[in-house]
Structure 1
Amino acid sequence: MQSTFPRLDIGPLSEYRDDDIMVGRFSEYLQEHQNLVFPHRHSFYHLVLFTDGGGKHTIDFHHFEVVSYQIYFMLPGQVHSWNFEGEMEGYVVNFSESFFRSFLLKPDYLDFFSFLNGDSRQNVVELAVDIRPKIAEQFEELLRQYSQSPALREDMIRVLLLQLFLTIEQSISTQQRQKGVFHKNAVIGNFQKLIERNYTKHRLPGEYAEMLNVTPNHLNALCKEHIGMQAGELIRNRITLEAKRLLVNLDLTVSEIAYQLNFSDNSYFTKFFKKEAGMTPEEFRKKSADE
């Protein structure tokens, strides 16, 4: 593993005039950005549809086998790396956090999509066979629009991306209904959003229950029913995930990471991390470097 930990902005990844959107063929993208085999994080949304090739892909320390017509979605700040086999084909889209902000009445509209909720286990979707031709054509249309003159181009791309997201979400919802799986409770969704914004400041379920205007017991019961874990576990999992993301950056000391995560001292952070991850921060760092 390299000692630096690149956080890539969308500007250097776009050869076109504006820096809020980039659409391309994945094989060409790989040729232009060969350094991206190392763990890195983006400051923008990033999605890839694989149409050919294989290998492995890692998002936030969850490992996935690459297969044709698998699509993955990443939020700003998530860490990923890949190790591909054979000739890779597909499509890639990068767009900034502000790309939809002035276009949509609801600024948090993208949170509606299950694959954009920040849970890496849901970031990877194997497309149902019946929607694959439609999705491939939508990506081709994105490429066509991206090559057009700027006039109205961005709005066309926004509409096409939303159509793409809705097509995939509809397919996921249909499969979930067939399996008897349903969307999470609204309180749970709001709880997870609050954790994302406050995990370094608030670590007790009671603090979040107060923000949600529910009792701690009710919040805990909802978490057990809909996610299968206690409320405190969700909070600790988010802290542990960020610790792992920071630990693969070899430019940061463990003490600096503890400080960033608002731990009172390094020893407390080490005890917390070992309890949650099953190893010390130094052991995790070494294990990640060896992979």
Structure 2
Amino acid sequence: MASVPKIKTYHFLPCKYGSELLLDIGRIESLKNYVLDQTLHQLSFYEIIFITEGSGALTLNENKMSILPQTIIFTSPGQVRRWDIQESVKGYTLFFEKDFLHLFFSDELFLYRFQYFHQYSHPPSMQAGEAPFRKCLNLLHETEQEIGQIQNDSSHLIRSLLYQLLILLNRYYAEVYEVERDTYVHAGFYRFRSLLEKRFLQDQTVEAYTGMLNISPGFLNKICRQFSGWSAQQMIHQKLISEIKKELHQNKSVKEICYEFGFSDPSNFNRFFKKLTHMTPFQYRKSIK
């Protein structure tokens, strides 16, 4: 039986510059063994990629995105991806640990407030206009220069540059996909997204989350549809399918995965998977060999 390709995981190197810095920036063309890795892999941190030259595709959680100049790609921790490069790609990659911002802003939901991270219903990439893309590159150049001559207070300046960049990207993303850009309304939606990332194995019903959030199922569905286009249950199901697919890349039996995700028996597990993907777990695993 042919083996299933395993998923490689890249972890952040916090002390690359001596003292701890939970953010880094690099030129794509100089990071070929990492950025342009054509094997299946995932990151344990956040990354934003800015393409200045080249073409090809990047598959992220099975969502295949075209790569062109002025493409911006957003990767959240745990998403599975694979590069398929046609022409030599150049640009920037900006990557950081959540604590680089969480600890400073004392806000556990901070990164869930941006539309492009932990995205369910819209693409995790966008094609930026020339002026917006140039504005982003200017902030990246400033960040690159500061890291190149790093000082004791550099983390504060770098954090402020990242904050500007994230806000600008949220505005641009909202314009491209016509979604809500206000990052400080309906905190219940952001809390739900955060809880879902942590508790999808234990809690798979809308009622479980509304109990933790102390809101009604109707209100949760309303804000989920407003901000994602999906109901709360659809978001739960999509999260489960995404995680199940990752497990199907490992050397685990379907039966083992079935019970790990709380299904009563393999037949229920197979029906659930096929309903959302139009193939059985066995067929999916066969398709990725």
Into which bin does the TM-score normalised by the smaller protein fall? 0.7 to 0.9
After superposition, give the CA deviation of every residue in 1:20-64 in whole Å (9 maximum; x if it has no partner).
33211000011x438721111111112211000000111111111
Stretch deviating more after TM superposition (126-135 or 62-71): 126-135
Match of 1:8 in 2: 10
SS at match of 2:52: strand
Structure 2 residue 145 is the aligned partner of structure 1 residue 108: no
AA partner of residue 255 (structure 1): K
SS at match of 2:104: coil
In structure 1, C-alpha distance between the alignment counterparts of 2:150 and 2:48, rounded to whole Å? 23
Match of 2:27 in 1: 25
How far off its partner does 1:128 sit? Answer: 2.4
After superposition, give the CA deviation of every residue in 1:190-217 in whole Å (9 maximum; x if it has no partner).
3333322322112222222333333334
CA contact (8 A) 2:120 2:238 kept: no
1:125-164 aligned within 5 A: 125-164=126-165
Q: TM-score, normalised by structure 1?
A: 0.85
Match of 2:276 in 1: 276
Match of 1:235 in 2: 236
Q: Which has the higher helix share?
A: 1
Which stretches in structure 2 are left out of the alignment for 5+ residues? none
After superposition, give the CA deviation of every residue in 1:95-148 in whole Å (9 maximum; x if it has no partner).
123222332232322222111234373421222222122111211122111111
Structure 2 residue 254 is the aligned partner of structure 1 residue 254: yes
1:65-214 aligned within 5 A: 65-119=66-120, 121-174=122-175, 181-182=179-180, 186=186, 187-214=188-215
Give the 3 Å change call, closer, same or farther, for CA 49–237 of structure 1 in structure 2.
Answer: same
CA contact (8 A) 2:49 2:74 kept: yes
AA partner of residue 240 (structure 2): I
CA contact (8 A) 1:45 1:76 kept: yes
SS at match of 1:93: strand
AA partner of residue 82 (structure 1): W
Q: Which has the higher contact order (CA 8 A, sep 6+)?
A: 2
In structure 1, C-alpha distance between the alignment counterparts of 2:235 and 2:35, rounded to whole Å? 35
Stretch deviating more after TM superposition (238-247 or 167-176): 167-176
AA partner of residue 252 (structure 1): K
SS at match of 1:46: strand
Q: TM-score, normalised by structure 2?
A: 0.86
How far off its partner does 1:260 sit? Answer: 3.0
Stretch deviating more after TM superposition (191-200 or 211-220): 211-220
SS at match of 2:101: coil
RMSD, aligned α-carbons: 2.7
CA contact (8 A) 1:39 1:80 kept: yes
CA contact (8 A) 1:2 1:38 kept: no
CA contact (8 A) 2:4 2:249 kept: no
How far off its partner does 1:80 sit? Answer: 0.9
CA contact (8 A) 2:109 2:190 kept: no
